[in-house]
Amino acid sequence: MNGVHIQEAMGPTVAEGEIEIVERKGRGHPDTICDAVMERIAQSLSRAYLDRFGTLLHFNCDKGLLVAGRVAHRFGGGEVLEPMRLIIGDRATSTWGEKRIDVAEIAIASAKGWFRENLPHIDPDRHLHYQVELKPGSEELASLFRRGEGLLPANDTSAAVGYVPLTETERLVLAAEQHLNSPSFKSRFPETGEDIKVMGIRRGRRLDLTVAVPLIDRYVENETDYFRRKESVQEALRTYLKSRLETIDAVSIRLNTLDRRGAGMEGIYLSVLGTSAEDADSGEVGRGNQVNGLISLHRPRGSEAAAGKNPVSHVGKIYNVLSHLLAHRIYEQVPGLRGVEVWLCSRIGEPIDRPQIVSVQIHQTPGVVNGEVADLIRKVVGEGLARMPAFIEELVQGKYPVC
């Protein structure tokens, strides 16, 4: 493929720099909840369109808002005073010829299913209210889906960027949250909620983690019990991460740093439902993790949220995921690279497998012959774009996580 711009990056990679800042919002964080729920709804709508109409129709349900509720915390178990509200918005086709589907019913059922599977302290029938604002799309965009078989044109002019490999800091931040929310950890520490946030700052070869983990109030007897359990959780995480260190010499962990001994309920991080959306923090699509599960402040980042978008024509989803996959394939198949970044930009109305530009930036190992590298990169990119129909089918099936 000739239309690929390749540039060699000068200077250190992110991993080789002196300072690195990385964040991960866990599955119970309000922003991550919005991304995950809206993506689940998008997958359910895709299946419903295929089952009912034999084809996917126009939709984008990527405007989600989780409005915080109100609770009363108590040692031994609090109560929900006011349910959270989930607003599900944007566009979704409900009729095609004489046939119709109930998009609101599909959206609510999908949301409830996600909460049941991922946040066990939440009863989706009692602890949430649902407001569905999915309206028909514009005629111009809807018409894209009436152009016959084959790849659809892009429904937006949009850009995305992906990169590999993850740095050790990125891997540890991701591992910390995933471990804290793993089934094995929850079995050992059932008092830990799912709204886990990890912020990592690496200075040279030292990593400092600030971690937020709510403790479910029904498991906590009093303030002393809270701090005892908190210390046990912190020590378990420290032991786990120390076993995973490679080039980083030391990792420090500070857990629930707003806590103050002797301040009663105002000095401890208790939760009734395991998420701060119960009373402290609302959530919104697009404010959380990128499709690789991280918020890396020293990395390039696009402006589009992938969650909830149509998987067959919306490049805000397609290119977000594809740019990371292309970067990974280039890194795996082209020898001598220390890092890869791939930018993709579409033009509305043009075929999605023909981006306006593909830009690849590479960090090479000294001594690599650039001409051979460029040819291999173009080959990998060309093969990736050529399998666009199969890749879109994988997106429809929900093969790739987006938060």
pLDDT attached to residue 366? 75
pLDDT attached to residue 10? 87
Residues 388 and 298 in one domain: yes
**How many other CB atoms are found less than 10 A from the CB of residue 200?**
24
pLDDT attached to residue 369? 58
342 with 358: CB under 8 angstroms? yes
- List beta partners, residue 264: none
Which tens digits make up the pLDDT trace of 323-373?
999 999 999 999 989 999 999 999 998 999 999 999 999 999 876 656 788
**3-class SS string, 212-245:** ECCEEHHHCCCHHHHHHHHHHHHHHHHHHHHCCC
Give dist(CA 23, CA 177) in Å, integer: 10
Give dist(CA 199, CA 174) in Å, integer: 10
Residues 218 and 262 in one domain: yes
Within a domain: residue 91? Answer: yes
Give dist(CA 86, CA 98) in Å, integer: 31
Closest CA to 288 of 110, 99, 65, 94: 65
Supply the range of the domain harboring residue 47.
Answer: 30-142
Query: Is the pLDDT score of 148 beyond 60?
Result: no
Within a domain: residue 234? Answer: yes
How far is C-alpha 384 from the geometric centre of its chain's CA atoms? 22
Closest CA to 83 of 98, 91, 97, 71: 71
For the chain, give the mean pLDDT.
Answer: 94
Residues 160 and 304 in one domain: yes
Within a domain: residue 77? Answer: yes
Within a domain: residue 173? Answer: yes
Within a domain: residue 150? Answer: no
Within a domain: residue 147? Answer: no
42 with 253: CB under 8 angstroms? no
Within a domain: residue 403? Answer: no
pTM of the model: 0.94
Three-state SS at 178: helix
Within a domain: residue 22? Answer: no
Residues 277 and 320 in one domain: no
Residues 306 and 253 in one domain: no
Give dist(CA 380, CA 374) in Å, integer: 10
pLDDT attached to residue 140? 56
Distances from the Cα of 171 to the Cαs of 118, 119, 276, in angstroms?
22, 24, 25
Residues 101 and 200 in one domain: no
Residues 295 and 160 in one domain: yes
Q: Which helix (H) or strand (E) holds 318?
A: helix 315-333
Question: How many domains does the chain contain in total?
Answer: 3
Residues 176 and 98 in one domain: no
344 with 364: CB under 8 angstroms? no
Which tens digits make up the pLDDT trace of 182-194?
999 999 999 999 9
